[in-house]
Chain A
Amino acid sequence: MAFIPHTPDDIARMLEVIGVRSIDQLFDEIPGELRAGALGVPPALSEMEIGRLMTDRAASDGRPLNFIGAGAYEHHIPAPVWAIATRGEFYSAYTPYQAEASQGTLQLIYEYQSMICALTGMEVSNASLYDGASALAEACLMAVRANRAASSRRILLPRAVNPTYVQVAKSIAGNQGIVFETVDFDRTAGRTPLESLQPYNGQDVTALVIQQPNFFGSLEEIDALTDWAHQNKIMLIAVVNPTSLALLKAPGQWGARIGGMQGADIVCGEGQPLGVPLAAGGPYFGFMATRMQYVRQMPGRIVGRTLDTEGRPGFSLTLQAREQHIRRSKATSNICTNQGLMVTAATIYMSLLGAAGLERVAAASLQRTADLAAALSRVAGVKPAFTAPRFHEAVLLLDRPVAPVLSALARRGIFGGLDLVDRYPELGHALLVCATETKLEADIDTYSSTLADVMSPSRAAA
């Protein structure tokens, strides 16, 4: 019997102790008319059989050459990361409720929180949220609690923020009366201009969201945007790519120092680039960091360092009075289980790379994307869309609809990027591409020559 250790003798002796004749009798409190009949699910497979099935299905999905980013990035994952993260002691433990028997997980989360603080330039981090998109939703809800200067529950969401994040924020935070207002981007530069915020000068607004780099890969003028927000008593929520923070200014240092305060108020983002595989979309993890003064408004678990009864340092879950199991309907969020194993992987990843390694990953990704954009722009009918400096993504404009081009590339084993037509119809035939350090010069050549072939006049005519 699959995973059931009981022998017939065990069963007989256990039934005798319980004082029933059969296992079925243990279900005699369920009214007879509710009892289920035979389940319409397939019979069991052995491990060998399921292995064959999964291997075949995986093989049918293949291993295409990928140039899509758009919120999930293909980076090299060092071999130790998952070799250690999948050790049973991490993989099969649960939330560290019993601190003394969970010091490994707790210390690791404390180290993780420290690393996220270091990357973002913030004072406190939580132990993770589900993913980048839902982390933004939680950040919006947190801003409503934390910004005592505003009562409008209005949040400004630039169109240059990942459109799926916007959708998720609306699905999750929309039930609590939060109003999202759209801020446009500059069609030439591909970033959010200060002028687009002018209509909100002096108004009651809860928060402004800035994504750096933004969805197009462009770098926003974060100092000016942050200062504008703070001058108007608006909280700044930064959505950032953790890899980019090895090169780019930490959100804690954005803008000018005003009254002893500087930088973003809440920082969140998608942690996937830190050692988590693409895996068809998940599991990933969301990270969140803030100022110490807002820590009690932050959702999710937090680990603190304290002392045991003998004065030795140790780690435990802390500030639990914010959480659902204590505060119930008054909790900061309903989140309980988070993405612990992904945090384990990310902590190992950050330890192996360090600041120097992560900086090289960021620089190489930036370089590869620059090379890619240049190579593809040399193809007839392709040109870059925006002028702003960028990180590791670029928008290209094609002289024809993008979808058929991507299909033709996919048939030749290349995932050529993301068609932006549904998300940004005003851009025309726009394609979002990404290359990370995993792409070799030869890969970029393959893509550009295949694209040239796919878009060649002879083929278009055919």
Chain B
Amino acid sequence: MPELQLREPLIFELSKPGRGAGTQFPPRVAGSAEIPVHLRRATPPMLPEVSELQAVRHFTRLSQMNFSIDTHFYPLGSCTMKYNPKACNTFAMLPEFLGRHPLGPEPQGFLACMYELQEMLQEITGMRGVSLTPMAGAQGEFAGVAMIRAYHRARNDLARNEIIVPQAAHGTNPATAAMCGCSVKEIPCDENGDVDIDALKAAVSPATAAIMLTNPSTLGVFEYKITEVARIVHEAGGLLYYDGANLNAILGKVRPGDMGFDVIHMNLHKTFSTPHGGGGPGSGAVGVGARLLPFLPIPVVGKDGTRFRWLTERDLPQSIGRLSGFMGNAGVNLRAYIYMRLLGRDGMVRVAEFAALNANYLMKRLQAAGFEAAYPTRRASHEFIITLKRENRLYQVTAMDVAKRLLDYGFHAPTTYFPLLVPECLLIEPTETEAKEDLDRFCDAMVAIRREMEQDPEKLSSAPHTMPVRRLDDVRAAKQLDLAWKPAA
């Protein structure tokens, strides 16, 4: 059973006027006297006043209220919660890297890493160019669709503003299309989880800008008609966008460029193991084929002879422009670089191999324990879906109940209710860094939960029982908004 820290007051409740972490304060100066009174703050902001130890203890205790990869198996589907090697953090935090101002002369040591990272990402995706600028997957998607629009416009093909996405697509896909000023056309999947080819043929038109696909799809299966999909879309004049959310499944086995994709974004915080950080920072590097090279977001790292430099609008006048104040999430990219060098050529292929081994093993074991796989005739990729629709009918338990009960057994829950089109689903992604024993323990927990469903379903519907809080009232949270602490009147 997990032992989490149970309760911690708000930092504001620890605060007392006049207290502070004095060693952190710079000396007092008179400097602010020259600010005109009407531009000055009248009363100090209500920030906490605590000692250094109080702050350290408070935030350490908060950390102990979290599940994390370092403490728990975290099979959150579509998020690739694999081990984040400590070396990546240690060497990305060398003082020379941390102290570097982004607008100083171009740092050759740092840029060498970024240049080689671009080259490696290009090679493993089969693309012709890479920009590391986008700061997360969704911004990578934005860059990709913006490049597609710029490409069509540059060819004076102005009517192409429709993006096709499969029903199972991640929510960022349609949201991105809308942010780029495109409309969205959703097409269904067939019973095997593949894109419905007839529906695709009916959907393409002179308005088709592109199709956005994840492969393996969000249903956890490889889209094996991908070559046909590529042909249909390309013949209609559209481009193919690869959502790299599931790149972990195919690393070194098949390259998006070889499948016919024109542009890809990679979630470096998934496949290349940079930390998820409680919700970021990510990094959403984009790769492109020859047609989209001129449109890459800037800056990109270039090389003149032996000297590395940032390429800007001068070098790429057709670029879709800048997406960040400086160079994207540079420190995240540095961690991805270190990770890739630690893996090397053979290690990268092993990522996909052992991710697939773990996923297929866990799927078979859960099936043997009576759980229903959503696509039982298919291989799992690096993840797979269990549907609890039968259990829901028989015992009135939901996927959410099982997810919450898993927390009591010491496992972070899989992704629930995504993809939306599979009822009562759990999307399970064990990743390659989990040992067989941990998969077996997870399986044992699922078997135990299955027994509880039959004998004591209330145990599930009232779960979790051992966390710092019980199930939270989300309706109250949204109706009686309490979004910031205020001192008692």
Contact = CB atoms under 8 A, between A and B. Distances in A.
5 pairs of A and B residues whose beta carbons are closest in the complex: A44-B344, A88-B70, A367-B31, A281-B326, A341-B277
A57 B327 contact: no
Interface in B215-230: 221-222, 224, 226-227
Contacts of A270: 325
A221 B38 CA distance: 9
Interface in A315-336: 315-316, 318-319, 321, 323-331, 333-336
A68 B103 contact: yes
A278 B107 CA distance: 13
A44 B104 contact: no
Contact of A283 (B58, B135, B433): B135
Contact of A56 (B52, B109, B484): B109
Interface residues of A, number: 200
A368 B27 CA distance: 12
A232 interface: no
5 contacts: A4-B433, A245-B45, A327-B175, A336-B138, A364-B31
Given A18-B364, A303-B483, A304-B482, A340 B326 contact: no
Contact of A134 (B64, B135, B278): B135
Interface string A1-24: 111111000110111011110011
A387 to B, nearest CB: 12
Given A29-B378, A66-B101, A175-B179, A42 B469 contact: no
Interface stretch (B198-206, B254-262, B449-457): B254-262
Interface stretch (B232-240, B285-293, B335-343): B335-343
Contact of A3 (B102, B123, B433, B483): B433
Nearest to A416: B104
Contact of A84 (B56, B174, B332): B56
Task: Pick the most buried of B39, B58, B124, B356: most chain A CB atoms within 10 A of its CB.
Answer: B39
A103 B113 contact: no
B175 A324 contact: yes
A54 B15 CA distance: 42
A318 B478 contact: yes
A59 B278 contact: no
B395 interface: no
Contacts of B5: 104
A93 B85 contact: no
A30 B38 contact: no
B407 interface: yes
B15 to A, nearest CB: 8
Contact of A5 (B40, B41, B345, B435): B435
A89 interface: yes
Contact of B322 (A26, A171, A177, A304): A171
A340 B31 contact: no
Given A102-B67, A219-B39, A331-B171, A10 B26 contact: no
B8 interface: yes
Nearest to B46: A118
Contacts of B138: 324, 334-337
B131 to A, nearest CB: 12
Given A3-B83, A103-B468, A336-B137, A41 B26 contact: no
Nearest to A40: B123
Contact of A354 (B50, B103, B332): B50
A301 B407 CA distance: 23
Contacts of A219: 35-36, 39
Contacts of B84: 91-92
A20 B379 CA distance: 11
A314 B468 contact: yes
Interface in A125-162: 125, 127-128, 130-134, 141, 162
B432 interface: yes
B278 A96 contact: yes
Nearest to B87: A47
B94 A164 contact: no
Contacts of A68: 101, 103-104
A78 interface: yes
A222 B79 CA distance: 44
B370 interface: no
Interface string A278-302: 1111111100000010010000011
A183 interface: no
Nearest to B29: A367
Given A23-B357, A74-B101, A356-B20, A130 B135 contact: yes
Given A3-B433, A325-B418, A363-B28, A284 B12 contact: no
Contact of A358 (B47, B107, B326): B47
